[in-house]
Amino acid sequence: MCGIVGGVTNKDITTLLLEGLNHLEYRGYDSSGLIVLSKNNIFDRARSVGKVKNLEDNLKARDNKIKGNIGIAHTRWATHGEPTINNAHPHISMNSVSLVHNGIIENYVELKNDQLTKGYTFASETDTEVIAHAIDFAMKSCSTLISSVQLAIKSFSGSYGLGIISSKYPDQIIAARKGSPLVIGVGVNGNYIASDQMALLSVTKEFIFLEEGDIAEIKIDKITIYDLDGNLVDRPIKTSNLKPGQTDLGNYDHFMQKEIFEQPQAIRDTLESRITNDSVLISAFGDKAEEIVSRIKQVQIIACGTSYNAGLVAKYWLEDIAKIPCNVEVASEYRYRHPILLNNTLFITLSQSGETADTVEALKTAKKINNNISTLCITNSAESSLTRLSDLIFLTHAGPEIGVASTKSFTTQLVSLALLTCSIGKIKQVINKKQEREIVDGLKRLPGLINEALLQETQIKKLAIRFKTKNSALFLGRGTMHAIAMEGALKLKEISYIHAEAYPAGELKHGPIALIDKDMPVIAIAPNDELLEKLKSNLQEVKSRGSQMIVFEDENSKVQELEAMEVIPITSNLGRITAPIIFTIPLQLLSYHVALIKETDVDKPRNLAKSVTVE
């Protein structure tokens, strides 16, 4: 949550701060602000409620333009305190310290009460303001800004990514990271900080990824990094492969739309160098993958949101195809319930960003419970907390995903899990060469099959009109399609604000059928599999209650079209692995076009942010 950008440079920093905020807006858009050290080392700050455009308009309307060579900026996803001007970052203490913060200070009430007794006043309801006051107080006994920060953070419980400047030390920015990602951009005309490298691609492609507990002193020509214990450390400089154009809309109206249509290429990129003509390369999961997998006896998948739905699909694959027990759990629940974790478990974390706070903490908890487990991270981010904590790493090659509602990250995660299923099956000798060849064949067909499914967009647009006055919807599926129905319901509620639920179709009689009437649209998924005839019976049950129905089917499913029922053939001859991925596409398109009709903000839905880096 929240986006941070800052820099110390030999040029005016304001334009870069605004540009960086625009690239980081997917991380939060409740409010935004920036501050620079102007002439005579005076803080000059601007803040606005709402999206970054409001801040830009605010700056344009000012008579005195904000200019300076050192500054920090922030776009906020509200945690402590409502989205108001006073709660917007950056925060200032005593005109000596200003900072931006991503994370949560859990003991802020105790710190605030102590600071009130010391004479500090509070202008906001945030937990962040106590950080600024703590650093200002530490400066009274410390001779440098970085030693003041090192002293202050000893009193904090919780998580933080911090960018700090001081009017008393006008040549530097301090960056500190605990539980919230920060990168340093190494440039020609200066050095920079950001919570995501995308914010800095216009000025550098060289980045240092701070590790947990790191504190950095950043000057125009020098970067010094200390670990949590105060030891001087070297962190490697890495060159980013991202290009500025990858984060532009191009010819699309929204990032979500663009990312839906990027899925064929994202899947090609994820498969590249991971398969041969007829075989999955086990080494794609790491040099020790074969050794680790050969001794595992069960799989535990931990994830949140869309990634959790991908894990539910994989449970069917792993148990049905690879013949290995698999449990799937929501990360935020797993870490607090004192789970039993057996030896010889492969503990898999799924996260687009690799920084999802609950997933990171669940992994740490698991390693404390049983250090004999093996860990695998599947993520879209090479330099992330999860990759550093895991034995095995598999990178989806989805490319940047800006839309808050995940699309190509979900399908590339499914592809990754399919490759894993095949790899485990091979090593355990429960998948023969013929079966492996069929799986690889299906995976190679996916980009073409997705392109076919995307051709249904015009028809799906027409169906979306039905939802203009709807407030609820029900999604049905069986087997892996129940998890895909869950993903479809999640997408619809995320971006159109329609209440949507997903159920296994066989559970209708156990409660949900009471909801069904002519005002409740029902969306069903009908692949041509062993549960098709049972699903058809379930659809008859729904239809007899007068529901309006949409059925996405395999061409060979031959669902009988009834009154007030629309049957849309998506493709044909899908297998156990390809079917869930392909049936995801029409559900993504449906949610997108319903959101357009509802006139919601597709890419930045209310109350949500892309990367959930706080609890």
| Strand ranges for 129-199 from DSSP E | 158-166, 169-178, 183-186, 190-194
Q: Which residue in the list 178, 205, 408, 610 is annotated as catalytic?
A: 610
Cα Dmax for the chain: 79
Residues 329, 273 contacting (CB under 8 angstroms): no
Collect all residues with Cβ–Cβ distance below 8 Å to 18 and sequence separation of at least 6. 34, 52, 55, 56, 59, 73
Structure tokens at 563: 């009154």
Collect all residues with Cβ–Cβ distance below 8 Å to 140 and sequence separation of at least 6. none
Strand partners, 73: 5, 34
| Strand ranges for 38-168 from DSSP E | 43-49, 70-76, 91-93, 97-105, 158-166
**Residue 407 per-residue DSSP state:** S
Q: Tokens 């991971």, residue?
A: 274
User: Does residue 2 have an active-site annotation?
Assistant: yes
Residues 129, 119 contacting (CB under 8 angstroms): no
Q: Say how far apart CA 607 and CA 86 lie, in whole Å.
A: 19
Q: Say how far apart CA 20 and CA 16 lie, in whole Å.
A: 6
| Sheet with 169-178, edge to edge strand ranges | 91-93, 97-105, 158-166, 169-178, 215-219, 222-226, 232-233
Name residue 195's amino acid.
S
Helices (H), 25-144: 52-61, 108-117, 129-139
User: Does residue 610 have an active-site annotation?
Assistant: yes
Residues 134, 152 contacting (CB under 8 angstroms): yes
List residues with catalytic annotation.
2, 610
